[in-house]
Chains A and B, each alone.
Chain A
Amino acid sequence: MLLLLAALPGLFWDGGASTAPTLRDAGISHIVVPAAQSASWKDVSGITVETGDLERAVKLLAPTVNYRMNQASASREPWLVANGWTFLRQPRARFYYDVPGDPAALAAAEAFCYGANALIKTDAAGLKPLARMLDFLRGLSARGLSGDDLPPVADIGFIDDGSPAAGEVMNLMVRDNLLFRPVRAPDRTLKLNVRLGDKEYPLEDAKNPKLIAQAVRTNLTDEKRTLRIYGSPVVVARVTGSAGRLCVQLLNYAGAARKVNGIRVRVLGDYPKHQAAADDAAGVELLDYTAESGATEFTLPELKTYAVIDLSR
């Protein structure tokens, strides 16, 4: 089993050395710069520099939520712009975000969640939120709370043919918190295997990937899902774990500006012990915690951008 070791995302910065005070003021201590800029940063103190470029990196979307308030009730579910499926499809690729402002922090958390090798290009407004998030993520790793030492948990094997249609289905499964793993062939150790074009998942339906995602959910059944999220349609979870331990990472795609007031999480398995941490929060207390009858449930009272809950027996 390949363990996805959570690399800390890096800030890609193409400003000259004269911008060093801005970076220092924001709390940035490490940057990735284009080779052409490298020399100018050589004698700058307090900031470590490595060279890199974005040319061969896969560009990601800026993570966010589109609420589509002008749409009818049939589509009032907010539309999440998430990159999880891209990470799962190309686990060894190098990625980059071009994301100005506060969402740079969410981008960092998203990449960290999936152990992705990612650079983040942002503007001056994004520096402080990004620096705070990177500090937090660094601290998690130091505390052993990042879950990067555990393999991803999946209920579903998805046979990815590399097509755009398959990509869209994977995107929806990520957003709907249907835990899957791309596989080359059906994996009988998983609860369900899905291949587009099979009788239950006709290619015709893939034109509306939501139909496929719904069929997957129906065939898996909610009772067998390792993870359920209640209380918000804008939270996506990444779960890693092995016997006796489960790490649940939660991302609020609306970002800190629209924090989620209460999120209820249910995972299969009795995990009486837990540790939790969340960005921009001194201490995290899980509410209404239960671990009984083969499932563990708890409420995270507030989710700004990112939280991690480490469950154990």
Chain B
Amino acid sequence: MRKLLIIIFLSFWISNLLAQDVIVTGIVTDPTNAPMPAVSITIKDQAGLGTSSNAEGKYQIKTDAYSILVFSFVGYKTQEIKVGQKSLVNVTMQPADSSIMDQVVITATGIKKKITNTGAITTVNIGDIRVPGANITNALAGNVAGIIAMQTSGEPGFNNSQFWIRGMSTFGANQGALIMVDGFERPFNEINIEDIESFSVLKDASATALYGSKGANGVILITTKNGKAGRIAIDGRVQVGYVTRTRTPEYVDGYEYAKLVNEALTTRNREPLYSPNELEIIRNNLDPDLYPNVDWMNLMLRPYTNNVNASLNFKGGGSTARYFVSTAYYNEGGMYESDASLKEYKTNANRERWNYRTNFDFDITKTTLLRLGVAGFLEKKNSPGLGHFIWESLVGTNPTATPVLYSNGLVPAYGTGAQTNPWVLSTQTGYKEFWQNNINTNVNLEQRLDFITKGLRAVARVAFDADSRNEIFRQKWPEQFNVEKRRDRNGNLVFVRKSTESLMFQTSAASGTRILELNGELVYNRNFSGHNVDALVRYFRRESRSSVNVGTDIANGIPNRNLSFSGHTGYAFRNKYLAAFDFGYTGSENFRVGKQFGFFPAVSGGWVISEENWFRKIAWLDLLKVRYSHGWVGNDNLGRRFAYLSTIATSGSTFNFGDLVNPNTFAALGYTQVASDELTWETGVKKDLGLEINILKNMFTFYMDLFEETRDDIFIQRNFLPAIVGVTSAPFANVGKTLNRGFDGNFSFRKRLGQVDFTVRGNITYYKNEIVERDEQYNYYPYRSQEGFRIDQRRGLIAEGLFKDYEEIRNSPRQTYGSYMPGDIKYRDVNGDGIINDDDIVPIGASNRPALIYGLGTSASWKGIDFNIHFQGAGRSAYFIDGPSVYPFTAGSWGNILTEAGNPANRWISSAISGDPATENPDAKYPRLSYGGNANNYRPSTYWLRDGQYLRLKTLELGYSFPKLQLQKLHLSVARIYAVGQNLFVWDKLKIWDPELANGNGMAYPPARTVTVGLNITL
């Protein structure tokens, strides 16, 4: 309310209106002389005044003489015309040509012409991105060249994607990019997407050098929207989504399950568990107490849920003050079925978020700009009491494990914890509430210093961010029972109690951080007849402090502090020859005095070949540019603070020098952590070679970057000291080294075919890393080392199919993982010692994070209709599948059986059971069944390694914008309805659950498949 008052007040204050003398009229036309309706006409430096042209292109506006009229329309150049004494002003609007000179990128030093930029930067047109749900991280994969991303959960509130700029360059603690929002380090998961003005990814050392010891893993720069002088513009959007799951594991029903149990037992010469009679009882559901057949998936998961997203923003202002105010609401429902009788609270997963942002710009003097921004969000998440077990329970509880309730009303359970009755687990165990409250405030003061020298300005920024999180967990569970498999003499069930009742009890947790950031910079930018010089020096400091629940360790209560001096100088000669030098001299409190500061320089250069005179003959080539950068970066987030200090403390044990009667006891005092005082940050050397091409009036644009990064001094604990050293704690050291190479690229093609605007976009990111050095023990077999292989390289035995017969078993090397028979997995003897053991474990596949991400999309618009389709893919990843459902019956009766394994065509079946020798298929997808675990089959090997590559139809969108003419009658400038489908389809090799989860056992909330309809209106 107060904010609203301020806005109203400001609007009045700004429009302390001057006398209006002249009435100006005229017609606005396009280059073909057709009248243009809905062109916005405002008076420069006077907010709130303005009109727009009508259906015939005519307008009328009241203004004073000698004011300036501003004509603007999307897709056309804005024109400013001095009124003078005229009363008729006719204007011909010119389509905005996207000249290469007009294209800009957002860099660490601010907005820069794209042509003179020498760093590797991806600038994302935020309008091209369709964000599933409300989380921008889920839109990064396949949309932003240079980013590798994966979404490993679809649960509301926990469905952020993990992402890495140019993949993984380190196995150290911090692999994530630095996120800068409006010039300050801030998270962006919860940002309202409508507020984002620009989104850039800084990838190479020259682009990130200014961030010194924080920029090693790349930087994402986000700026939020600001008000623009002109009439107030109100933009509103409402969308509703219908959310289903991309893919949920499918399991066999009780009858199939029981048959498979029998097969698993009899094929290993054990007695079957179910008699033919009992199988019939299960099939016909004759005794649901003893022989239940429950479809837990159906019982616990809803077929669909909804999300709602609404946002509203205002912007506008006059010449001296401008504003942007936005608010947004988001609600995302979970998939968990809840108990309708519980009225007091909800157990389903849910996330609600309220965002707000106000950005004010004041021109205090003609050369002084004050910017004030306040933004924040309030988030509330809900999840069922034992919700963290739901997927484990779904995977584990087989259809015959227990009924939902016994016929006498008692609550059944397989066990406790994750083995609680699934229905109880998701509906009867209370709930967890989580709130997050985040407020970011920043003030910028910008002073142009042209009176000292032209092109100089100073900027000072202060930010104060506060974040608090609270969690309340109200938990309970009912008394639960199991039954003996046989009834007693009277035909009654024999109950065994599994857990006693727990009435509701509560635990809570809280955390909070405060961040204070200051920075000031001097910027110089000037063009001297063809020589363009820009320079910047920046002083920066940041303090982040946890203020809640910091525990007893002194280190936890000490603020994280960074201090840096950084600078940039760039030079461009006739936009042709480009050079830049950047540096960051940054310090961190995390190291000892003398080791706190590091110098991270970067040099870069570019040659815009297309600007050469001899090249200008090639008219169709707008831009041909090569650039190269070489620089150093750092990472001061080691995952452990003050590791350079030792800790001496009493260990809890005591020693008595005396006897019992006269004890003389001392607490034992010693090193609990030894120090390594030479510790310092991780450093990286980055090289980047880029090529940029624009042809045919920018119809086709293309860029490609090759990169190489060597990361050194990776912080790691030395875990393999021999015991003779005698230290009781492993010391830390900067000993790791990696090499990461790859490329990223992007192209777009834009063409207007008749009345159809047509665009094709594509991007790709690929990397391959290698551990050059890391802390590991001596390995006799080089392939058992981590050195020389990828970070997180998967390792396992090499499977050579299934044993055909005993003859083959006799003629093969001995396998040491328990007994085996035909139909079990045969492994390769890699070291040739005649024994299959851990020394035959070799690197196989890749890592579970994709090393290749690509996206391809096209959009077209015709009249008011627009259409957009986007595919996203990932490759070069691999992971093992395992767990109680992938390994049938590995944990006995704990674990569902995938329909894939239930399909006889997919598994090895003894001919004694199937009666058909053909079912003894040595190439089958599942080995001979076993009950209660099989150490030979169920271990990481190529047999269970799955290729993680996939291609998905990420976005399919259809929209319709109402014609301007009709809108004008309603005083609207834009009205668009649209429908977007997200994650509609996926092509992959895994088939059993969503491949992007990179999850081995299926115990994960799948990503959402969403169909959203929405309406967007701008006043």
- Asked whether A and B interact, the reply is no
